[in-house]
Amino acid sequence: MLTIVTNSIKGTATFDESYRYRYRLTRSWLTEGQNLRQVTFIMLNPSEADAEKDDPTIRACSQFAQRWEYTQLNIVNLFAYRTSQPSILKHINDPIGPENNRYLHEASATADAVILAWGNWGSLLNRHQDVLDLLAIHHHKFYCLARNQSGQPRHPLYIKRTTRPTPWQQNS
């Protein structure tokens, strides 16, 4: 795992040896005297962000987390395969990644809140339901920012930063 500290924000990223899969990304701005409050976002798949470089989605999630007064942001994904084009996932032999379920569980177990935010492609391979089942023990922590027309939790990039999370209801 690579850990880099810049401008009082500590960033980490966990990749497989080939860097094809990113399992977890964190940003922490915890300062002395603060209590650790973690929020985990579960999104679709990672793109280019790493321990020191943010992309627009990571910046958006960081803004939400800080606005809600969390001191650490955890990012995990339904699919760990790195691509900026989600349509490619359906052509990849293993888009989930061999270690992904473990990181999904760990990031959800340690979080105070889990924001579901994978957008339209979450139903690929029925992965959204597999992950909801995998993490059912943590369902009381599940929130979303909004839903898309198909009922999936919306991706955070195009949601107003003043939006507050609402409890996730599976069949609403």
Among 147, 12, 139, 14, smallest CA distance to 82 is for 14
Question: Mean per-residue pLDDT for 104-117?
Answer: 99
Question: Regarding the domain delimited by 2-167, which CATH topology (the fold level of the hierarchy) does it fall under?
Answer: Rossmann fold (3.40.50)
> Cα Rg for the chain, rounded, in angstroms?
15
Tokens of 89: 């996932």
Q: What pLDDT, on the 0 to 100 scale, is given for residue 171?
A: 62
Three-class DSSP category at 127: helix
Burial of 126 (0-12, 13-18, 19+ CB in 10 A): exposed
Q: What pLDDT, on the 0 to 100 scale, is given for residue 8?
A: 81
The whole model's pTM is what? 0.94
pLDDT tens by residue, 3-16: 444 458 899 999 99
Kindly provide the b/e burial profile for residues 55-70, where b requires at least 16 CB atoms within 10 angstroms of the residue's own CB: eebbebbbebbeeeeb
Among 82, 118, 108, 114, smallest CA distance to 97 is for 82
Question: Mean per-residue pLDDT for 67-93?
Answer: 97
Per-domain residue ranges for the chain? 2-167
pLDDT band at 33 (very low <50, low <70, confident <90, very high): confident
Q: What pLDDT, on the 0 to 100 scale, is given for residue 170?
A: 79
Tokens of 47: 């793109």
1 pLDDT exceeds 50?
A: no
Q: What pLDDT, on the 0 to 100 scale, is given for residue 7?
A: 59
Residue with tokens 């005297």: 33
Distance CA 78, CA 133 (A): 12
pLDDT band at 101 (very low <50, low <70, confident <90, very high): very high
Question: Mean per-residue pLDDT for 20-46?
Answer: 95
Q: What pLDDT, on the 0 to 100 scale, is given for residue 59?
A: 97
